[in-house]
Amino acid sequence: MLTISNLQAAVEGKEILKGIDLQINKGEVHAIMGPNGSGKSTLAAVLAGREDYEITGGSVTFEGEDLLEMAPEERAQAGIFLAFQYPVEIPGVSNTNFLRAAVNEVRKARGLEPMEPKDFLTTIREKAALMEIDQTMMSRSVNEGFSGGEKKRNEIFQMAMLDPKLAVLDETDSGLDIDALKIVATGVNKLRSPERAFVVITHYQRLLDHIVPDFVHVLYKGRIVKSGGKELAHELEAKGYDWIKAEFAEEIAS
Amino acid sequence: MTMSAETLDLKDKCILDFQSLEASLNGQSKTPFHAVRKQAIERFAELGFPTIRNEEWKYTNLMPALKAEYVLSHGLQSQVLKTTLTAKDVAPFLVPSMKANVLVFVNDSYAPELSTIITTLNGVTVSSFAEALQRSPELVQKHFARHAAFENDALAALNTAFAHNGAFVGIAEGVVVEEPFHLVFVNDARRNAVLSQPRNLFLLGANAEATIVESYHTIGSHQGFMNVVGEVMLEENAVLHHYKLQNDAENSTFVGATQVHQEASSVFNSVVISLAGGIIRNNLNTMLAGKATDTHFYGLYMVGGKTLVDNHTLADHAMPHCTSNELYKGILDDRSIGVFNGKIMVRQDAQKTLAYQSNRNILLSPNATMNTKPQLEIFADDVKCSHGATSGQLDGDALFYLRARGLSRERAQALLLYAFAGEVIEKIRIEALREYVDTIIAARLHQEELKAA
Ligand SMILES: Nc1ncnc2c1ncn2[C@@H]1O[C@H](COP(=O)(O)OP(=O)(O)O)[C@@H](O)[C@H]1O
Ligand SMILES: [Mg+2]
């Protein structure tokens, strides 16, 4: 589904991703872990098409297409969804209007008619209930005045509405209490299917108790320095990141 | 011929027209009202039309607009302006489904046959300015040019010199009028270039409440110049909701001054919407002459082409415990030019003043420009004042967020602009007017379907 080869990216002349290789097939859940500043959010943003990053090398293909040639909206329409680490507040744009526009754009790209208003409202109600999102939040401006937890739940809610093929969750767990974490995890697990893939970026192993990954990768200083199964997350939890830092300090310096 | 020589032409023409007007007055030239007009033309003769060397007109060059061969609406040749507009001609200027008193002025003359008065309350006087002057000369003279100073304002002086036509709205003490007064000013420039100069006077007695909408329009392809002065008197506790709607043709030049005088606990709510035109200059001043007044200035200018929109505002805090709150927002495309000059004056006695001002602009084109100048002059110590101004592009994070959800760049941009404008549009209290403005903006942004939601 997604093939990342030797991907390199820089911002303001500073190299951040230094050659990432990753193969993601449909149905798989990949966790990406790593200390702060490793480049996790950068990788997510590059996949979603953020233009602030300069691609200095490598390639990314999504279902056979050159992803890096696509505009952010084309990627979303093709089925890529990024749950933002910091969801953006957009005053004056109501959640409902925004979602209707988004859902219909994505449907249009799939050759579907705009959703009937009635169906749209029913779907909203159903998915919002799942994420324990209050109906009053729907008439409010996008993310405006939402608590940290509400913003994160809203991201997963949007994901459920947009029905992506590949979802990248960037630290959706950070700042959540255990109850909110469970809601998010339940929402994600409901969407797990043989047709859909996930990239779950997290700093902690905690989330991975609830969303059990097929693969775990450790991103450090712009490189994937270790890959393994779900037990790698437990190892990291037990040993901490210092172990990675020590082990790879030399290698990366050289 | 040089530009300044041609400018002199219009100035001389105005002075000449005044003299002939005066000659035709016979006995009436001795009235105190006319004495003020005389002072005004003298002052105009001294000042002349402002050039960009005048600090107040630094970014707004009227000179090209003064070149046309204007016929003054209330002058020597005003006979040639006698015009026959039909209800059909003015229909596009009305706000659909707004239940209002509609007063139409063509080349600043009141056109009763095109107007509709629906309010029948006692204590409501609505007429042309000329009629009010004839009926209640003392009342009109008591306020005429008492609020809108022309000492340093050539255009106000010129308007004052020719003051005759325009609207009068008088609301007696304690009377609350639900239906808005929509004053529709039309320049009929089909046969000649027209310089019209409506003079308006709105008097609200203690505890009275009213809503006034002013809109300005040009018909025809000759130049239309409208130079308006409105004086507004709000007695204690009076409330006025005031709207200005400007969606005019490219061949129009508009200069309008609204001078408000607020007595204690009065409320003045103003929303100025400028969507199109040639040159638009709005002066909006309020004198907070009583305690505990409340003032809201909202403005939205959303223009493209070569339109210039210049908003000069002044909240003059002379008494304690008054609040003024100002938000002007601009969206400038193509080669359009925006000017915002917002002044907050807090005089020595105006303790416990709350005065806020914000001017936010989005430039959609590299050729659009915005000149913004906040001015705070504070002579009292126990006050809370703030101001802020921004000009720039749309929020990149918000744009990316929307695009990452599948919205095209154009769609995302339109959605953000619609929301940006919405913050001012929502201040319009008349639902039909709000809908009307909203529809124009949604259509301009191709966001009809979102509006319907
Ligand atoms: N827009 C940016 N401008 C400048 N530096 C950036 C920008 N985005 C990320 N960086 C830098 O790139 C590095 C990786 O950041 P990030 O991808 O956010 O890491 P992570 O998500 O793993 O914590 C950090 O050193 C960060 O300061
Ligand atoms: Mg991050």
Residue A222: which pLDDT band, with cuts at 50, 70 and 90? very high
Burial class (CB in 10 A: 0-12, 13-18, 19+), B9: middle
The one-character DSSP state at B176 is B
User: Which chain B residue has its CA at the smallest distance from A50's CA?
Assistant: B400
Percent of residues in chain B assigned helix, strand, coil, to nearest 5: 30, 40, 35
Residue A252: which pLDDT band, with cuts at 50, 70 and 90? low
SS (H, E, C) A22-87: EEECCCCEEEEECCCCCCHHHHHHHHHCCCCCEEEEEEEEECCEEHHHCCHHHHHHHCEEEECCCC
Residue A8 lies in a domain: yes
Residues 6+ apart with CB under 8 A from B303: B274, B275, B276, B277, B309, B331, B332, B333, B336, B338
Per-residue pLDDT tens digits for B248-292: 999 999 999 999 999 999 999 999 999 999 999 999 999 999 999
Question: What's the angle, vertex CA B420, arms to CA A95 and CA B446, rounded to 5?
Answer: 80
Write the CA distances from B182 to B130, B196, B245, B432, integer angstroms: 18, 18, 10, 12
N residues, chain B: 453
**Mutation for A interface: B300, B362, B397, B405, most A CBs within 10 A:** B405
Range of A71's domain? Answer: 2-91+165-253
Residue A159 lies in a domain: no
Cα–Cα dist B398/B401, whole Å: 5
Tell me the CATH number at A76. 3.40.50.300
Cα–Cα dist B230/B201, whole Å: 6
CB spacing of B408 vs A73 below 8 angstroms: yes
CB spacing of A72 vs B397 below 8 angstroms: no
Of A52, A90, A97, the CB nearest to B401: A90
The per-residue pLDDT for A43 is: 97
* Residue in A38, A172, A200 to alter for ligand 1 test, most ligand atoms within 8 A of Cβ: A38
pLDDT higher than 80, residue A37: yes
Q: What is the ipTM of this complex?
A: 0.95
CB spacing of B409 vs A73 below 8 angstroms: yes
The per-residue pLDDT for B261 is: 98
The per-residue pLDDT for A238 is: 85
- Tally of domains within chain A: 1
Q: Does B408 touch chain A (CB under 8 A)?
A: yes
The per-residue pLDDT for B450 is: 59
The per-residue pLDDT for B4 is: 47
The per-residue pLDDT for A250 is: 60
The reply to whether the predicted model has a pTM over 0.90 is: yes
Q: Please give the radius of gyration of chain A, using alpha carbons only, rounded to the nearest integer.
A: 18
Please spell the DSSP secondary structure of B64-129, one letter per residue: GGGGS-EEETTSTTGGGG-----HHHHGGGS-TT---EEEEEETTEE-GGG-B-----TTEEEEEH
Return the ligand number nearest the Cα of A50: 1
Q: Please give the radius of gyration of chain B, using alpha carbons only, rounded to the nearest integer.
A: 22
Residue A133: which pLDDT band, with cuts at 50, 70 and 90? confident
The per-residue pLDDT for B3 is: 45
Residues 6+ apart with CB under 8 A from B207: B173, B174, B236, B237, B238
Among residues A162, A117, A155, the alpha carbon closest in space to that of A133 is found at A155
Lowest mean pLDDT across A129-138, A179-188, B199-208: A129-138
Return the ligand number nearest the Cα of A174: 2
Which residues lie near ion ligand 2 (Cβ < 5 Å)? A 40-41, 85
Lowest mean pLDDT across A46-50, A87-91, A205-209, B438-442: A205-209
pLDDT average, residue stretch A148-165 = 94
Return the ligand number nearest the Cα of A85: 2
The per-residue pLDDT for B403 is: 98
Residue A105 lies in a domain: no
Residues 6+ apart with CB under 8 A from B88: none
- d(CA B319, ligand 1 centre) in Å: 53
At B264 the three-state DSSP class reads coil
H/E stretch holding A138 reads helix A135-139
Write the CA distances from A50 to A41, A54, A59, B397, integer angstroms: 11, 9, 15, 9
Residues of chain A neighbouring B393 (CB-CB closer than 8 A): none
Q: Does B142 touch chain A (CB under 8 A)?
A: no
Residues of A with CB under 8 A from a CB of B: 48-52, 71-73, 75-77, 82, 84, 87-88, 90-94, 96-98, 100-102, 105-106, 109, 141-142, 158, 162
End-to-end CA distance of chain A: 33
Indicate the domain borders of chain B.
5-290, 397-453
H/E stretch holding B276 reads strand B267-276
Residues with a CB atom less than 6 Å from ligand 1 = A 11-12, 16, 34, 36-42, 52
The one-character DSSP state at B411 is H
| Residue B368: how many other CB atoms lie within 10 Å | 22
Q: Which segments in chain B show pLDDT lower than 50? A: 1-8, 453
Cα–Cα dist B453/B439, whole Å: 12
At B359 the three-state DSSP class reads strand
Residue A157 lies in a domain: no
The per-residue pLDDT for A151 is: 93
Residue A154 lies in a domain: no
